[in-house]
Structure 1
């Protein structure tokens, strides 16, 4: 009981999750150069508050050698990959659909003198997908994609991983189905119903569903945790390719 309880507590502590060596002023300059949306600044400077991303990265860091090849679809400005770079990882790859975010990520990597290879691509239908990967990281984007499914995602990325390779991801839980107005976009709650957009949280799955989908696509869930107080409630999973 002690070890699981200790792991539970450590996953919720903010220590060691921040990017080092980037000042607010330097980041503001890079933000202005790239014209990246303002939320990237929060994602970088307040990274330790984004527990779902931090835990996924820390779990990978704990199980992988430092020469492991790690790929992050939907990497944004690369904050997660750069954190891994500061932990000593040297083969870091990512893709995102936003050109401005990619420019910001490249400039951040240069400022921090970290290795980072990122390019523009569609996370659900990638044109360039590295193979023989040791790990894939996917947080904070899949459940925002209309018509996306976890099964389709796992099916698409399965063969890019080595057998025994890891996939760390997060998922909005079905707890959100009980939140009033959950069918609407959170920024539109105060608008008349006819002007509201559908919810930005398009996939919601509980642990049993994630486990079942993982098994069907050649993965095993080897670790998970749920951030019950997050809004929306999110869970993080560490999967391993079994076949």
Structure 2
């Protein structure tokens, strides 16, 4: 699990140097519109590889009360603790850790530019870990890139790859091109809703 992109120092350096080209500065439209449909404000929500926490900010604005952010970068999680200090240890928890060491059980896990930050060799481990972190009936929901990149991170993929990867473990409720991506990413994103079996 110690490939360079998973190293805390690697991500600290990127945030320190503000080399965060994936950061659009707000919650992405596909995830915002999904959140807008959620009625249960006390569901346990995890956002791994949370970056600057725009999804959490939006969830808090909408009255959600049980949010956990996780990131491997101590520099980042310190900034988030300051940014969200009025919510910390109340509606919001922040964990500094490698994703693969996380524990707990969640109703919903939000995926936004975390999957693409992991080397493709870790994708099967990602799927297994996501499954273990979800409660029965819980959902992994978010956006995956539908394109390839030179080098990486980010690392890309396509719908068929994702279907082959997720279908053995999850019930795929949605795996389709996003119709509501922001303009620079139009036609380059896939929306996924993958549900863990109830029993």
TM-score bin, normalised by smaller chain: 0.7 to 0.9
Alpha-carbon shift at residue 150 of structure 1 (Å): 3.5
Give the 5 Å matches for 1:104-123: 104-110=79-85, 115-123=91-99
Map of 2:3 onto structure 1: none
The TM-score, its normalising length taken from structure 1, stands at 0.63
Tell me, in whole angstroms, the C-alpha distance in 2 between the residues paired with 1:229 and 1:163: 36
RMSD: 3.1
Query: 1:62 is paired with a residue of what secondary structure?
Result: coil
Tell me, in whole angstroms, the C-alpha distance in 2 between the residues paired with 1:205 and 1:164: 26
Tell me, in whole angstroms, the C-alpha distance in 1 between the residues paired with 2:87 and 2:132: 32
Gaps of 5+ in 2: 1-14
Map of 1:7 onto structure 2: none
Alpha-carbon shift at residue 165 of structure 1 (Å): 1.2
Higher relative contact order, structure no. (Cα contacts within 8 Å, ≥ 6 residues apart): 2
User: Which of 45, 48, 53 is 1:70 aligned to?
Assistant: 45
Tell me, in whole angstroms, the C-alpha distance in 1 between the residues paired with 2:36 and 2:17: 28
Query: 1:106 is paired with a residue of what secondary structure?
Result: helix
1:55 aligns with 2:7: no
Q: Which has the larger radius of gyration?
A: 1
Q: Is the 8 A contact 1:59 1:238 kept in 2?
A: no
* Larger proportion of helix: 1
Q: Is the 8 A contact 1:56 1:237 kept in 2?
A: no
Q: Deviations over 1:33-61 (max 9, x none)?
A: xx855367x948x315xx3xx42243144
Give the 5 Å matches for 1:71-220: 71-110=46-85, 115-123=91-99, 125-126=100-101, 128-131=102-105, 133-174=106-147, 176=148, 182-183=149-150, 198-202=151-155, 204-220=156-172
Tell me, in whole angstroms, the C-alpha distance in 1 between the residues paired with 2:114 and 2:134: 20
After superposition, the Cα gap between the structure-2 partners of 1:147 and 1:205, relative to the gap in structure 1 and judged at 3 Å, is: closer
